[in-house]
C-alpha cells in the first residue's frame, strides 16, 4: 500500500475528533440532534483549520445509512460514509470555485439542483473558496440559495469572507473557525507522533506549532518535513535549522543576558542564533511576544497556563526584570521592528535594537556590563554622569520666565530631577565661586549640573556642593487647622467671614463657595446685579445663556446658601451688554501674565547669551507663564 501523508491519514472522521473548534461543533451537533437544519452553511477561517473537513463530516451526518435519520455521530463504516470519505459519493458535489468562475459553469452546476438525490437523503453541494466566484456566478446562485428544494443543502467554505456579497451572507448560517493555539497544537502533534512511533522532542513541536501559525494541516506537513530532514526523528536543533527559527529556550537566554545587562553574553547568544539564519524581523517579534508574556505574568500572575513548558523560566524573568525595563524593551522593539525594512541589513537593525535596550535601561544609567571590561563600578558611575545624553542644539529654544536659583549639589549616586514649572520663584542668587559662566546658564535653565570629583582623600571621592538657599514660599492664606494636606492646585479652605453680596466681592464669593462643574462655569460667567430680600439677581451674557439650566441654578443657590448661612434664591437675566465677570477677570489676568512672560524672555541676558552661543532663536508662541491664572487663584481684593 502506498504511503499516506499525515494530513490525510489523521483527518478527523467524527466531530469529536476535531480540536479547537468547539463553538462551531456545538451548534452543528445541536442542530443535527434536534433536526433543525438550515439550507445553507458558510464556514470561514484561515487555511488548514478544518472547513472542508467539517463540511464532509456534516455530509456524512445527513446521509449515514445506519441511522434512522440525520445524526451527529455517523458510523463511518457504511458504504455512504466510506464513499464520502473517498470522494466518490454521487450526491456530494464538491466544487472548487477558483476553477469554475464563469457564470455558464455555475448555471450548469445548478441545473441539477431540482432533481432528487440518487442514493442519499440529501444532495449536498460543497463549494470551496466560494469568494472566487464572479459577480455573475453569485447572481446565478442567489435565487437557488434563497429557495432551494428540501432535499438540497449548500455547504460553502472560504478563507476571505469579505469578498462574498452580503446578499449571499444573509442567506447562510456563518461559522468562523479559529486559529489553533500553539500550545494546544503542539499537544495534538505530540499525540499523533506517539501513535506513529516517531521520535520527537517537545521543543521541536513548539517550534513547528509556532511556524504553522494556527493551521493544523500546515503543522502536520512541517512534521513530515522535519521527520524527513532528521532521518525519522523530529529534533529541536534540526527543526531550528530547517525553519530558520529558534526555540523559546534560546530566546529566553537572550532576555536573561539583557536582564543581567551583560553585553558580552548578549551578543554571544545572538551570534549563536545567527547560525540558524533566522528572519530577524520575526525573531524580534518573538522576543516582543515573550516580553509581553513576562509583563503579563507580573501584572496577572495566572495569565500563563501551568502546563506551558517555559513557565518557570518566564516566572524567573518576571521576578528579575522591573516593569519599567519590560515596557522600555517592548517600546524600543516595536519601533525597531517597524523601521527594520529601511535598515541596510536586518541583523544590523536587530543589533542596534539590543544596544538601545541596554543603553536606555532605567537602572543601568546608560552603561554596559562586560565580563572583559576593566573599569570598576565607581568609574562607570562617573562616566555615566559625565556622558549623560543631552539634547542637540536646536534653532528653537523654549524657556519659562527667568527664575535664577543656585544649582543644588549632586550626590555621587544620584542626579536630581529638573525643577517643575510649579517651583516657587526666588530672587537671583550670586553664583558660587566654583561655578563658571556656563554652569550659571545651566542653573538658570533648570538643568542638573555635572558633578565635580576632587582628588581622592582617604579613599573617598569629595564632591563640591554649592549652598542651596531655602525656598521662598508664596504667602497665600492663613494656615489651616491640622488635617489632610491639600493637592498642588487646591486652595486651602479656612474659616472666613462671609463677604456681602456686592458686585466687587462677587469674584471672591465665587472663589470661596464650594462650586464645581457646570455650576462653577455658570457663576464664573455672571456678574452680580443686586441682592435684596434673599434674592440674588445675576446678569449673564447672551452667548453664555446655554449655561443657565434649572439644575445648575439650583446647585448654585445651594452652594451660596451654605456659604452665607442663609437661604439664597438665584435669579438670572441674560443681557447683550458687556459685563465684568470672574471669567473675564481671569482672561485679563492671563493676558497680563503672558505679556509679562514674553517681556521676561526678551530681557533675560543669560538666555540672550545662550542663543548667541548656539545660534538659536526663541520659537514664536512657545513662551508660557510659569503658573497661569486659574479661577481658584483669582483674587479681587478679598485678602486686602
In the predicted structure, residue 429 carries a pLDDT above the cut 70? no
DSSP annotation of 638:
T
Interstrand relation of 199-200 and 396-397 (parallel, antiparallel or unpaired): unpaired
Q: Are residues 596 and 548 in the same domain?
A: no
The answer to the question of residue 597 being in a domain is yes
The answer to the question of residue 379 being in a domain is no
The answer to the question of residue 413 being in a domain is no
Q: Are residues 121 and 228 in the same domain?
A: no
Residue 622: its pLDDT value, please?
A: 82
Domain, as residue range, for 316: 248-359
The answer to the question of residue 382 being in a domain is no
Q: What is the CATH number of the domain that holds 550?
A: 3.30.300.150
Q: What is the CATH number of the domain that holds 266?
A: 1.20.272.10
Q: How far apart are CA 30 and CA 598, in angstroms?
A: 76
Q: Are residues 299 and 354 in the same domain?
A: yes
Q: pLDDT band for position 632 (50/70/90)?
A: low
Least confident range from 174-183, 269-278, 367-376: namely: 367-376
Count Cβ neighbours within 10 Å for each residue of 85-118 and write b for 16 or more, e otherwise: beeebebbebbebeebeebebbeebbeeeeeebe
Q: What is the pLDDT of residues 524-549, one digit of tens each?
A: 999 998 988 889 999 999 888 888 88
Q: Are residues 257 and 353 in the same domain?
A: yes
Q: Are residues 528 and 612 in the same domain?
A: no
| Residue 460 phi, psi (nearest 5) | -125, 150
CA 303 to chain centre: 17
In the predicted structure, residue 474 carries a pLDDT above the cut 70? no
C-alpha cell at 211: 511556524
Residue 206, CA distances (Å) to 187, 238, 496, 578 in order: 9, 13, 73, 75
Q: Are residues 200 and 228 in the same domain?
A: yes
Q: How many domains are there within the chain?
A: 5
C-alpha cell at 364: 543601568
Against a cut of 0.85, is the pTM above it? no
Q: What is the pLDDT of residues 204-234, one digit of tens each?
A: 898 899 888 889 999 999 999 999 988 889 9
Q: Which of 604, 597, 627, 629 is CA-nearest to residue 404?
A: 604
Alpha helices in 147-247 (DSSP H): 166-169, 182-196, 202-212, 216-229, 236-243
The answer to the question of residue 578 being in a domain is yes
Q: What is the pLDDT of residues 253-270, one digit of tens each?
A: 999 999 998 999 999 999
Residue 41: its pLDDT value, please?
A: 95
The answer to the question of residue 216 being in a domain is yes
Q: Are residues 543 and 611 in the same domain?
A: no
The answer to the question of residue 421 being in a domain is no
The answer to the question of residue 449 being in a domain is no
Amino acid at each position: 500500500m502506498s504511503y499516506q501523508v499525515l494530513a490525510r491519514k489523521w483527518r478527523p472522521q467524527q466531530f469529536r475528533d476535531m480540536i479547537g473548534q468547539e463553538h462551531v461543533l456545538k451548534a452543528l451537533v445541536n442542530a443535527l440532534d434536534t433536526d433543525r437544519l438550515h439550507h445553507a452553511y458558510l464556514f470561514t477561517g484561515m487555511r488548514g483549520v478544518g472547513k472542508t473537513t467539517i463540511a464532509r463530516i456534516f455530509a456524512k451526518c445527513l446521509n449515514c445509512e445506519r441511522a434512522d435519520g440525520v445524526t451527529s455521530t455517523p458510523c463511518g463504516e457504511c458504504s455512504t460514509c466510506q464513499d464520502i470519505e473517498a470522494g466518490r459519493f454521487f450526491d456530494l458535489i464538491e466544487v472548487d470555485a477558483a476553477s469554475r468562475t464563469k457564470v455558464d459553469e455555475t448555471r450548469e452546476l445548478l441545473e441539477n439542483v431540482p432533481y432528487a438525490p440518487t442514493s442519499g437523503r440529501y444532495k449536498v453541494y460543497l463549494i470551496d473558496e466560494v469568494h472566487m466566484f464572479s459577480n455573475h456566478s453569485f447572481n446565478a446562485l442567489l435565487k437557488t440559495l434563497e429557495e432551494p428544494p428540501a432535499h438540497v443543502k449548500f455547504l460553502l467554505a472560504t478563507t476571505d469572507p469579505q469578498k462574498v456579497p452580503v446578499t449571499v451572507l444573509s442567506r447562510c448560517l456563518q461559522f468562523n473557525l479559529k486559529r489553533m493555539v500553539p500550545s494546544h497544537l503542539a499537544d495534538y502533534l505530540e499525540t499523533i507522533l506517539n501513535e506513529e512511533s516517531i521520535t520527537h522532542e517537545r521543543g521541536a513541536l513548539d517550534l513547528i506549532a509556532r511556524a504553522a501559525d494556527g493551521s493544523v494541516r500546515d503543522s502536520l506537513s512541517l512534521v513530515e518535513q522535519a521527520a524527513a530532514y532528521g532521518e525519522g526523528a523530529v529534533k529541536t536543533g534540526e527543526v531550528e535549522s530547517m525553519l530558520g527559527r529558534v526555540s523559546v529556550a534560546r530566546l529566553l537566554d537572550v532576555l536573561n543576558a539583557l536582564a543581567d545587562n551583560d553585553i558580552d553574553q548578549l551578543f554571544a547568544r545572538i551570534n549563536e542564533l545567527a547560525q540558524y539564519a533566522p528572519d530577524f524581523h520575526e525573531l524580534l517579534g518573538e522576543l516582543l511576544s515573550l516580553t509581553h508574556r513576562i509583563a503579563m505574568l507580573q501584572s496577572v500572575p495566572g495569565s500563563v497556563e501551568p502546563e506551558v513548558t517555559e513557565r518557570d523560566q518566564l516566572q524567573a524573568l518576571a521576578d528579575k526584570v522591573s516593569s519599567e525595563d519590560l515596557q522600555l524593551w517592548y517600546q524600543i522593539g516595536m519601533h525597531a521592528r517597524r523601521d527594520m525594512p529601511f535598515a541596510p541589513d536586518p541583523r544590523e537593525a536587530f543589533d542596534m535594537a539590543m544596544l538601545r535596550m541596554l543603553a536606555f535601561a532605567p537602572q543601568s544609567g546608560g552603561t554596559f556590563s562586560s565580563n572583559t571590561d576593566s573599569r570598576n563600578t565607581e568609574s562607570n558611575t562617573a562616566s555615566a554622569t559625565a556622558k549623560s545624553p543631552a539634547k542637540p542644539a536646536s534653532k528653537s529654544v523654549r524657556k519659562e520666565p527667568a527664575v535664577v536659583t543656585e544649582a543644588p549639589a549632586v550626590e555621587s549616586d544620584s542626579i536630581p530631577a529638573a525643577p517643575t514649572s510649579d517651583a516657587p520663584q526666588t530672587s537671583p542668587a550670586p553664583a558660587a565661586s566654583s561655578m563658571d559662566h556656563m554652569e550659571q546658564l545651566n542653573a538658570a535653565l533648570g538643568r542638573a549640573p555635572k558633578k565635580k570629583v576632587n582628588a581622592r582623600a582617604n579613599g573617598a571621592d569629595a564632591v563640591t556642593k554649592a549652598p542651596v538657599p531655602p525656598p521662598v514660599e508664596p504667602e497665600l492664606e492663613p494656615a489651616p487647622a491640622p488635617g489632610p494636606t491639600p493637592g498642588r492646585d487646591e486652595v486651602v479652605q479656612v474659616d472666613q467671614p462671609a463677604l456681602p453680596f456686592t458686585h466687587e466681592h462677587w469674584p471672591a464669593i465665587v472663589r470661596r463657595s464650594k462650586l464645581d462643574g457646570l455650576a462653577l462655569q455658570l457663576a464664573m460667567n455672571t456678574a452680580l446685579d443686586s441682592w435684596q430680600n434673599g434674592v440674588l439677581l445675576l446678569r449673564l451674557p447672551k452667548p453664555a445663556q446655554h449655561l443657565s439650566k434649572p439644575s445648575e441654578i439650583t446647585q448654585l443657590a445651594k452652594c451660596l446658601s451654605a456659604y452665607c448661612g442663609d437661604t439664597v434664591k438665584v435669579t438670572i437675566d441674560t443681557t447683550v451688554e458687556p459685563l465684568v465677570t470672574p471669567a473675564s477677570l481671569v482672561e485679563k489676568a492671563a493676558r497680563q501674565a503672558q505679556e509679562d512672560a514674553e517681556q521676561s524672555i526678551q530681557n533675560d541676558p543669560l538666555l540672550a547669551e545662550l542663543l548667541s552661543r548656539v545660534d538659536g532663536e526663541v520659537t514664536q508662541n512657545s513662551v508660557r507663564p510659569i503658573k497661569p491664572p486659574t479661577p481658584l487663584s483669582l483674587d479681587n481684593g478679598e485678602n486686602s
